[in-house]
Amino acid sequence: AAVEFGLDAPYDVEYHDRVESTNAIARERATAGASDLLVLADEQIGGRGRREREWQSPSGGVWASVVLRPDRPPAAVPLLTFAAAVAVTEAVRERGVDAAIKWPNDVIVPGAGERGGRKLCGVLTEMSGESGRVSWVVVGIGLNANVPQGALPPEATSVQAEVGPVDRRSLVQDILERFSELADRPEATLSVWSEHALTIGQHVRIETARETFEGEAVGVTDAGALLVDTGDEERTVYAGDCEHVR
Ligand code: BTX
């Protein structure tokens, strides 16, 4: 049914009208040996974010998971999350949405006041491997494209809410082309990411599995970890939630 979306993608495409989670299907396919595969759905009923959080995925969105077998160490995998965020940011900007990246995995519409900092897209990257080698990676992209505002959490926005409904086929196509181009180019990814990222220079509140602290985001490492100056020391944050405090 990939015909439904009519995609001419740089990956094999498996299309579903409705699934639990495209990441869950992609993980199964990856475990069975697949690579360069895109699992795409119109609607998810069990979409997931990081730490098992729910991801609202009503019909009309772009719920997509790419299976890759990249020849790179696990430490370089977060740059695939960056590549996806860059691809989405550029594609929606081309369509008139004022989008920017929030470390590590969100595309937001900055704005001011009440409508400021709303989440447009999230990326969930999962991987498997052993002894320092990556076996497979699943990069899950959740983009609120043509979804009604009422079906989203209040802190979210959609392409439709920002600029009106868009052609999802060409949107997905643009995202995939850019993503596949960046997927093999970690250095290029990092530099374009930095251009689109809002986080650097902001005062941030970081929440990791173990602690919460604040400081100024001063940069990212080559592997995409966030550097935060707390005033006392510079911390390196590999994974966690980040809020822009001011
Ligand atoms: P995250 O953990 O950074 O963000 C999850 C949080 O985002 C939720 O707790 C909620 O507050 C908020 N949220 C939930 N749904 C939406 C939405 N539709 N728009 C904006 N904010 C929302 C982000 O995780 C990573 C999400 C990846 C989703 C893709 S969709 C394709 C693939 N399949 C799958 O199950 N997950 C990925």
- Distance (Å, rounded) from C-alpha 23 to C-alpha 111? 30
Q: What is the pLDDT of residue 1?
A: 36
pLDDT at 3: 44
Q: How is residue 156 annotated by DSSP? A: B
For a ligand 1 pocket test, name from 55, 57, 109, 207 the mutation site with the most ligand atoms within 8 angstroms of its C-beta.
55
Radius of gyration of the chain (CA): 17
Do 138 and 23 contact (CB within 8 A), yes or no? yes
How far is ligand 1, taken at its centre, from the CA of residue 140, in Å?
Answer: 10
> Residue 72 Cα, ligand 1 centroid: separation in angstroms?
26
ipTM higher than threshold 0.90: yes
* Domain 2-196 classification at class level: alpha beta
Residue 11: its pLDDT value, please? 94
Q: Which atom of ligand 1 is nearest to the CA of 23?
A: 33
203-244 maps to CATH 2.30.30.100: yes
Q: What is the mean pLDDT of each run of 10 residues along the chain (246 residues)?
A: 64 95 98 97 97 96 97 92 98 98 96 80 95 94 96 96 96 96 95 96 95 97 97 96 89
φ, ψ dihedrals at 74, nearest 5°: -50, -35
At 42-67, the pLDDT tens digits run: 999 999 999 999 999 999 999 999 99
> Domain ranges in the chain?
2-196, 203-244
Dist CA 4 CA 17 (whole Å): 9
**CB of 120 closer than 6 A to ligand 1?**
no
* Helix H or strand E encompassing 183: helix 168-183
Decide whether any atom of ligand 1 lies within 6 Å of the 109 Cβ.
no
Kindly report, residue by residue over 205-223, the tens digit of the pLDDT.
Answer: 999 999 999 999 999 999 9
